[in-house]
Every structure is written in structure tokens, then in C-alpha cells.
Amino acid sequence: MVQTKVRYPNFGDEPQPADPAEKNLVRSLAKGFAVLHAFTAERDELTLAEVARAAGVDNATAFRFLNTLVMLGYVARVPGTRRFRLTLRCLDLGFNAIARADLRMQARPILRDLVGELNEAASIGVLDGADVVYIERIQAGIARLGVDVRIGSRVPVYSSAIGRAILAYLPRETQIAVLEARPREKLTEATVTDRDALLALLDRVRADGIAFSDQETVPGLRVLACPLRDADGVPLGGISVAAPALRMSAEDYLRRAGPPLIAAARALSRGLEAAGGTAAPPRPPIANTPRTRRPSP
């Protein structure tokens, strides 16, 4: 699985380039978030020095911030060691942002129905800037492919089936803005990165009603996705299914997995309409968004 190191601004004391928004930046708060972001799924327990190094601050600063976060309940000391780890209280922040309760509750039984002999995973994602954020996931396999997706995981829009399914139903200017929001890296040999080629793919997705990412984020993984739209046709999110590429040809996967996925998307969209809509409209890309570890679609 392709991974990208976390990139954060340098929060040290050295002079920084002038920025029009600099006067509004609370640097101490920024440093605190950099300390929190030092912890990852692979590095869930860190020493003070490791936190300082990852956050770009000195040991004394890291010490003060870690102890403050311990007092607030967001970080805990690992008993018997000199290490620290995040607490479950950090989930409150994330779930407050992605707690589209009706969408998630309605999606779970539908996702379970999609997972079985044909599909090994089914997901719901929403657009956040130039990323897709997963807000629900049912997975029965594909761990052997290095797929590590959980609620809150992110994947670039341009390479993901869900991203294309959502983006296809947005205005052209929005499509271009999202695609240009950050560099489009080749995550695998199959990743499409050319802007014009991606725009042509989005046109095809809009015509077909379904998006296909064939090993473009993770080698060996095929993903289909459909948009979840409200009564006005605005995409609120996307629903996807995934399976190993070695199981069958791309054509067979489209033929077998496509119709049930389209039916599931229509059913969930109708449910969202009945509930009055629960997912916020996609937000425009945020320039220079920190890039977190990249999961699979």
C-alpha cells in the first residue's frame, strides 16, 4: 500500500515566510495539533523525543504540550514506559465532524448486503476538500492486499472510485478546482493523473452512473462506486464495493457487481431524501491541506 509521510508546517521558532493569514495564526494551538498528529496507526505509542521530532518542535515544547494534553484527557502515559498514546477522547472530535447519523445508520444494513462472496468490502465516503473521507465501512477481507481503511480514513479524490462518483455530479469548475488542489501523484502504475483524462472519466461516470477504479490506489484492488444524491441531484457522498483483481476480469466484475451497487445507491439515496438529507454539501478544496497517511479506497 502506498503511504505518504505526514507533512506539517514547521512550527519551530525560526523565521517563517510572510503570509497574509499569519497574523491570525495561533501558533501555540497549531503546535498542539502538530503534537496530536505525530501519532499514527503505525506509531500509536511514542516517546517525548519521537513526538518532538514528528511535530517539528523541541523537546521542552513537546513536554509542555504532552502534559497539557494528558491533563485534558486527549493523551495518556503508557504505564511502565516513557511512551505516550492518544486516548479515545480524541474520537469525539472526529465523530462530531462525521457523525452523519442517519446516513451511517441507513447505510450499515445496505453495506452488509453488498459484502459476501463477490465483494470483500463496502464503504460510504464523503468529499472533504481534495479527499474522500470514509464515514462507514463493512469489510470481510482484502487485508492481504494491505488495505487498511477505517472510519475517518482519507484517500485522494482523483484516484478513488468514490471520489469520481461524487465529483462527476459537481459543476465543471468545481471538478477542476478539486483536481488542481494538490499534486496528483501516481500511486500505482495504473493511476490516472492527467487532468484532461480525469475530466473525460468524470463525464463517462456521469453518463454511466457508476465509477470504476481499477488498481489505481492499491495494486490488485478493484473498486466500483455510485453517488448518493439528494432530491435535487446534489451528490451527498458515495457508496463503493471492492474486490481483489485476481478474482475475475474487470468486465466480469463490472457486470456482476455493478447492478447490485446501483440498486443499493438508489435505495440509500431514497432513504436520505425521506430523512430530509443529512450529509453536508461537499466543501471546496482547502489549499495546502496537511496530507495524512493514504489508505485504500
| pLDDT at residue 21, as a whole number | 58
Task: Tell which residue, 252, 195, 261, has the closest CA to residue 227.
Answer: 261
All structural domains of the chain, each given as residue ranges with its CATH number in brackets, are 22-89 (1.10.10.10), 99-274 (3.30.450.40)
Which residues, 6 or more positions from 135, have their beta carbon under 8 angstroms from its beta carbon? 98, 100, 103, 104, 124, 125, 126, 151, 152, 237
| pLDDT at residue 5, as a whole number | 37
pLDDT band (50, 70, 90) for residue 178: very high
Give the mean pLDDT of the chain.
81
For the segment 281-291, the average pLDDT, to the nearest whole number, is 45
209 pLDDT more than 70: yes
| pLDDT at residue 67, as a whole number | 93
Q: In whole angstroms, give the CA distance from residue 148 to residue 190.
A: 20
The beta strands (E) that lie in the chain are given as 45-47, 75-77, 83-86, 121-128, 131-139, 154-156, 211-214, 221-229, 235-244
| pLDDT at residue 8, as a whole number | 37
| pLDDT at residue 120, as a whole number | 87
Percent of the chain with pLDDT over 90: 51
| pLDDT at residue 237, as a whole number | 92
Which three-class secondary structure state does DSSP give residue 41? coil
pLDDT band (50, 70, 90) for residue 216: very high
Task: State pTM to two decimals.
Answer: 0.65
| pLDDT at residue 279, as a whole number | 43
Tens of pLDDT, residue by residue over 41-95, are 788 899 999 999 999 999 999 999 999 999 998 999 999 999 999 987 876 666 5
